Chains A and B, each alone.
Chain A
């Protein structure tokens, strides 16, 4: 059947059609919808794991047991899962195993724009790279075939524009597939030195065989153009931009498999054209491969290794002309993302900003607390880095830092990588104050369940981590819970815990306002007679509050009636609208 699907949805469809049985992932933009959509198929066991390393190990366990398995993650998630990846490369698989990794050139929703193709090369694992939804579906199925044929995990590399673009796909039925019977194989699966030394040559031979496969596989194809003046080697979404500009004019070698790359095919293609151009986003990986074959190319000296490409960009770089545009001579204010109206994080960040604390931050919606005018954040690195980071910061500076610095981390991020940092704080006697922002969901990626929410990916009840008990068990004696809507209570708690001569955890607990079970209250309105235009409420940076004709004004379409602005107003000007 023909239908229109998001790239990520198409990968999920590919998992279904390929007979995949076990899926374990951690959410991360732009990869999240693969697993969300896979969870809609009753035939696939699907779960959110606490982090990507766990997810990959789950998938490998399922593969070892003979099932086809999958794990999905964003590019930085593969850093977390890199440890199992490099050794799973040695053990290989029993049932096919596919790992999707979604890069984010341009950093729409990421902290860096690392190029995941390096991982495939260094872990010696094949990598397929689809360029639209149809290929996302097709390549997912092929990835399982390659995985089982060559006894290797296969990485499916997505990027924002493939993952989050919808295009037309042709669906088919799910294959009937029995699990491969389990057999104990210490030589294959126990990677201690004696066995691992024997597996490494197998990996090298596998790469040789995969290179041969790459020469003739249909995933790599030459599209002959009307002129051979220019020949372009490209892949992924760059292929689409190249075709948009050149249509059928230029010769194009589209690589669907980015590791290992073919040798003869590329050499033959190079011979057939006058000038060889490499168009690839981020690093010059195809270019380096061509250089190793002694080919002369035009590549990164023309095209940037930063950000996203587009058709106009390619057109400009290859001198194919510019488009006529009309410009508005006007200063258009930026519209950066903001914490939502009623967001429980806002109350907490308002207090952190008011107390002028140093804030060692983490990854999640609450990173938006860094935006001016709250500006309540000093660093954001990676999942869990807040808790480990504050420990180092305080060890370096001692008492002066301990009384004026906090770490902030979300509930899901704490489950992902925060716990080990907290153990370190307790174990190595750090007088640090950690605030867990428990909004009872994984927020930024669009509301995924996690071990603290009490529900599975399918919405079924699950074991729920008791954060207070967990922190105590990890060795923190001072653990308390505050409601961030109560600014006074929150401020007092932070002041008290900072003064203590021991590590503390404050759990700032209130569910995300976007959760379905959180019902908005009636919006507030401003009594303009009472409003003295002092702008105290404006410091709260709620998108629903602005100054209109010199008085505070509440946008009733945005306000969810959280009422925190009432606590800030000394003149009692905020009232419940009738």
Chain B
């Protein structure tokens, strides 16, 4: 099969490493060749972060380039907008509608753009956007936004529920298991138009 490209984007500290670990684990378990490329170090400190997940029969490059992503999973709305150019013309964006102000906006030197979901949609891009933060709180912890979004994204993959649950079991520490399973389910059941 042709290599599939998934990007997980967000703000440093939102838990993209666990999300990519989950996906990487599932894909390896399914027998695919997998590469996951992460960012560590300075940019993690509240900066814009991106993780690339690629899978297929044989994967070479660890990164995803402009025009290559099948799916972009975004933990924050501005970050979804930032990476639009990386999407394939027929790709899909799954995004949290939460807005986290970047420092130039807080400092008053830049504006947080308005109506981003509509603007992305107007390009003919399939975008699924919802309030993942509220669902994460409903699951029991605002920090489970990452798993809520993975739940919502899971329907765009051809893997059964068992495969996802197995990956969660293998990647999440025991004491957070119940919380994360609930977060995943809430994401999975999000209504999409």
Which A residues contact B (CB, under 8 angstroms)? 2-4, 6, 29-30, 32-33, 108-109, 132, 161-162, 164-168, 237, 240-241, 243-244, 310-313, 323-328, 330-340, 365, 368, 371-373, 444-446, 538, 541, 543, 545-546, 555, 557
Do B113 and A332 touch across chains, with their CB atoms under 8 A apart?
yes
Do A167 and B34 touch across chains, with their CB atoms under 8 A apart?
yes
Which residues on A sit within 8 Å (CB–CB) of B63?
161, 310-311
A372 to B, closest residue via Cβ:
B107
- Listed residue (A323, A324, A444, A541) with the most chain B CB atoms within 10 angstroms of its CB: A323
Chain B residue total in the interface (Cβ 8 A): 63
Do A132 and B35 touch across chains, with their CB atoms under 8 A apart?
yes
Do B34 and A337 touch across chains, with their CB atoms under 8 A apart?
no
User: How far in angstroms is the closest Cβ of chain A from B129?
Assistant: 14
Among A4, A32, A328, A338, the residue within 8 A (CB) of B46 is A338
Q: Which 8 A-B pairs have the closest CB atoms?
A: A109-B41, A323-B67, A29-B41, A337-B47, A165-B62, A333-B110, A335-B102, A337-B45
Contact A332 B36, CB 8 Å, known A311-B65, A326-B125 = no
Main secondary structure of the interface of A (DSSP, over half): loop
Which residues on B sit within 8 Å (CB–CB) of A337?
12, 42-47
Do B45 and A338 touch across chains, with their CB atoms under 8 A apart?
yes
Among B11, B13, B20, B102, the residue within 8 A (CB) of A334 is B102
Contact A164 B38, CB 8 Å, known A132-B62, A326-B84, A335-B48 = yes
Do A244 and B124 touch across chains, with their CB atoms under 8 A apart?
no
Does B128 count as interface, using CB distance less than 8 angstroms? no
Which B residues contact A (CB, under 8 angstroms)? 11-13, 20, 24-25, 28, 33-48, 59-63, 65-68, 78-79, 81-82, 84-87, 89, 100-113, 116, 119-120, 123-125, 133, 142
Count of inter-chain pairs, beta carbons less than 8 A: 187
Contact A3 B28, CB 8 Å, known A241-B60, A244-B60, A372-B107 = yes
Do B28 and A326 touch across chains, with their CB atoms under 8 A apart?
no
User: How far in angstroms is the closest Cβ of chain A from B137?
Assistant: 9
Do A166 and B89 touch across chains, with their CB atoms under 8 A apart?
no
Could you write out 18 A-B pairs with CB less than 8 Å apart?
A: A4-B24, A108-B39, A108-B42, A108-B43, A167-B34, A237-B61, A244-B61, A313-B65, A324-B89, A325-B87, A328-B81, A328-B85, A328-B119, A334-B110, A337-B45, A445-B41, A446-B41, A546-B106
Among B39, B62, B89, B113, the residue within 8 A (CB) of A330 is B113
Do B41 and A30 touch across chains, with their CB atoms under 8 A apart?
yes
B42 to A, closest residue via Cβ:
A109
Among B68, B87, B107, the residue within 8 A (CB) of A541 is B107
User: How far in angstroms is the closest Cβ of chain B from A332?
Assistant: 5
Do A335 and B40 touch across chains, with their CB atoms under 8 A apart?
no
- Listed residue (A241, A333, A336, A543) with the most chain B CB atoms within 10 angstroms of its CB: A333
Do B46 and A237 touch across chains, with their CB atoms under 8 A apart?
no
Contact A311 B36, CB 8 Å, known A4-B25, A326-B84 = no
Do A4 and B36 touch across chains, with their CB atoms under 8 A apart?
yes
Do B106 and A543 touch across chains, with their CB atoms under 8 A apart?
yes
User: How far in angstroms is the closest Cβ of chain B from A73?
Assistant: 14
Contact A371 B103, CB 8 Å, known A244-B60, A326-B89 = yes
Measured CA separation A341–B34 after assembly (Å): 35
Measured CA separation A4–B112 after assembly (Å): 38
Measured CA separation A487–B81 after assembly (Å): 38
Contact A108 B47, CB 8 Å, known A241-B60, A330-B81 = no
